Every structure is written in C-alpha cells, then in structure tokens.
Amino acid sequence: MNTMKMVVMGLLLALLPASLMANEGRTEAISPTDRLYFKNQIAAIDDLAGRHFGRQLNGQKGNDFAVMQRLLDDKIVGPEDVRSLQAMGVVLGTLLQSQYSLKWVIYVDRVGRSRSLQLLGFDRDVIFPTTQISRRAQVGLQVNVASVYAELEQSIIDIRKNPPF
C-alpha cells in the first residue's frame, strides 16, 4: 500500500465518530487495575505539566484544556508519545464523566479490549475518549483539545436524543 493511501486511511480513522453502537461487542465493569491505570495516566500528565510549566491539572475544563494544549503546542508531547496522548484522553474522559454522569467500562469486541465511557441508561452506547487525541496526533493533524472534547460532548448529546429503543 502506498504512503498516500496509508495517510488517507489514517485520517479517516482519526475522524471516525467517537460513539459506537455496541452491536458486536459487550461491556464489562472496570477492574481495580483499570482504576489504577486511570489514576496513573492522569498523574503522568499532571507531572509533565508541573515539571514544564509549574501548572497542575485541577479538574476544571478551562485549566485542563490549556495545560494539555500547551503540552501539545510546545511539542513536549509529540505524535510518537502514544502513552501520553492517551493519558490526555483519560483526562478528557474524566472531565466528561463528571459533567455527564458517565461510567468507565471495558468494551470488548473482536478487535480487543478498550477503555470507554458508557452513558447511564444506554447500555449499548459507549464513547472512546482515550484514543481521540492520539489518533489525530499520530496521523499528523493539529490537535485542538477543546474541539476534541466538544466532539465527544456532541456524541453524548446525539446518543441521548436518539435512544435505541
């Protein structure tokens, strides 16, 4: 496959909607190991921000968006740093979780196991905040953290407007 086709495919994957009807998969409760993973991911971004800017994450959208955007813009976190990019997705997910009363679950399908957020009362609908920043950065797109969050928010609103029953 030539490079151009790979780039186009990557862009298409990065722009897929954040929501998915879970027709092929199932959800499972998160484990204590998953909870520790979330805590460590948030701490890693908090540590980077503290070391480089003297700022911390505080659970407030405006602050946390600005911290993550600066980490990206100043190239402290680059497209090759998938772990940190996905940690930023965990931060976004945690903000969404508190604002929209979502719960972290594990979505399991033929591709594997993914950490996702489930809308309460919508057992088959999940969003995948963890990979939203990393997928964009890895294909060379300029990431706007606030815009990624807004897209995830819109997915939640759309799911709630159009229940599957």
CATH code, domain with 99: 1.20.120.1090
- For residue 142, being part of any structural domain is answered with yes
- For residue 40, being part of any structural domain is answered with yes
Q: Which residue's structure tokens are 């602050």?
A: 63
Nearest to 147 by CA among 68, 84, 51: 68
Half-sphere exposure of 34 (CA within 13 A, CB side): 16
pLDDT in tens, 65-88: 999 999 999 999 999 999 999 999
- For residue 145, being part of any structural domain is answered with yes
**Which distant-in-sequence residues (6+ apart) come within 8 Å of 105 by Cβ?**
27, 28, 29, 30, 115, 116, 117, 118, 126
- For residue 69, being part of any structural domain is answered with yes
Domain count for the chain, please give it.
1
- For residue 133, being part of any structural domain is answered with yes
pTM listed for this prediction: 0.83
- For residue 9, being part of any structural domain is answered with no
Q: Residues in the chain with pLDDT < 70? A: 1-23, 164-165
